[in-house]
Amino acid sequence: MLNILLVGKAPGSLAGFVDDLSGRKAITVKRVGSAEEAWDCLHHGRIDVVITDEILADGDALNFIRALIKKYPLINCAMVSPLSSKDFHEATEGLGVFMQLPVNPGPDEAANMVRMLESIDALIGM
């Protein structure tokens, strides 16, 4: 079972993305709006992947990911960002963010993310 935590202020912006993930076997998706709520989920349950929208209800997604990686270095992280791929790479370098998602990601991005996670899992399992 893959446990995904989506953290973001605007639930509607990830609707198609979430619908695709929620419809897949062996994936559970939980949504929260703030870093504070995310910390509570991380402390009280098993989370494999954290996906942040570009803005959280209580702060900046990049600052949350920086703190998250310090406390939970093995959690896979993805982030919604309007930055160019070069600027995104520079902003997240060293944070272990495995994927940049476009603003308003949909089913295609969800499928691509699942494929990437399966590849990561295959590499780790070797």
What is the DSSP track for the chain? -EEEEEE-S-GGGGHHHHHHHHTSTTEEEEEESSHHHHHHHHHHS--SEEEE-SEETTEEHHHHHHHHHHH-TTSEEEEE--S-HHHHHHHHTTTTEEEEE-SS--HHHHHHHHHHHHHHHHHHH-
- pTM value is 0.91
Q: What is the pLDDT of residue 126?
A: 41
Question: Which residue range is the domain that position 81 belongs to?
Answer: 2-125
**Domain of residue 81, CATH code:** 3.40.50.2300
Give percent above pLDDT 90 in the chain: 72
Q: How many domains does the chain have?
A: 1
The mean per-residue pLDDT over the stretch 99-114 comes to 94
